Amino acid sequence: MVPVTVDGETVKLAVITHKPAGNGPFPTLVFHHGSTGRGTDTSLFARPYDPKQLSDWFVARGWAVILPSRRGRGGSEGRYDEGFAIDRSQGYSCEPTLSLPGADRALRDIDAITPLLLAQPFVDRSRFAVGGQSRGGILTVAWAGRHPGEPKAAINFVGGWMSTSCPSATAINGPLFARGTAYPLPMQWLYGENDSYYPVSATRASFQAFQAAGGKGSYDIFTPPAGMNGHFINTVPSLWTATLEAYLAARGLPAKPL
């Protein structure tokens, strides 16, 4: 539990860390969680986010992986308030004036916790990468744009803030992705076919708009195993190992198992 001050309140945010044996310093990935589906099941709010397959993949390559949970999520203190409808029982709002401030709140949490995570003695700050899943993926893109000189790599797994079931999804996701255009280095965007939240047509259009606005990076699509929701490709490293190894190597970062 890491104390932070954000929006004028001091709260403790829950953090899970995986790292290789030894003292380091290690190249470090700070990886951000997504949402809770539609936001209507409050029992999911406290569930820790600990993507074992992804963490194991990085640790095998000599990386530390740090998984912070934002306010009200995964055991963190504070209220979970990332873009809900006025009637919170309805879950996340499709109204941009409610949804986008929720993303800004999440980014403030990330701003507050990241310097404390990077100050840990096992972290090699010269080899710091940021990444995330779903909402964590689009937050990764936006946050890298806010801090263009910090991460050496930015990895977006199936990122988006609101799914295409929301009529205003483009009006919400587009501006958040556009914030990442200030990041000067290439990003890696990884998406899956048969994603129940973000179909390929929508995510490809998001990346094309990102590129047209000056963003740099690669967009890759993977076919998940039969019957699997493509939103969860981060649990199947065999799909994306070659792509992600190539991206990390191009950034001068460890890419192969030790």
Per-residue pLDDT of 226-237, as tens digits, reads 999 999 999 999
> Does pLDDT of 37 surpass 90?
no
- CA 157, CA 137: separation in Å to the nearest integer? 5
Q: What is the mean pLDDT of residues 14-29?
A: 96
Percent of the chain with pLDDT over 90: 97
Find the angle CA(113)-CA(33)-CA(137) to the nearest 5 degrees.
Answer: 100
Cα(88)–Cα(130) distance, integer angstroms: 30
The predicted-structure confidence for 132-181, as pLDDT tens digits, reads as follows 999 999 999 999 999 999 999 999 999 999 999 999 999 999 999 999 99
pLDDT at 17 over 90: yes
- Beta-bridge partners for 156: 132, 189
Cis peptide bond upstream of 254, omega within 30: no
pLDDT score of 187 more than 90: yes
Q: Which residues contact 245 (CB under 8 A, 6 or more apart)?
A: 255, 256
Distance CA 254, CA 236 (A): 20
pLDDT confidence band for 38 (50 / 70 / 90) = confident
Give all domains of the chain, ordered by start, each with its CATH number.
2-250 (3.40.50.1820)
Tens-digit pLDDT profile for residues 49-94: 999 999 999 999 999 999 999 999 999 999 999 999 999 999 999 9
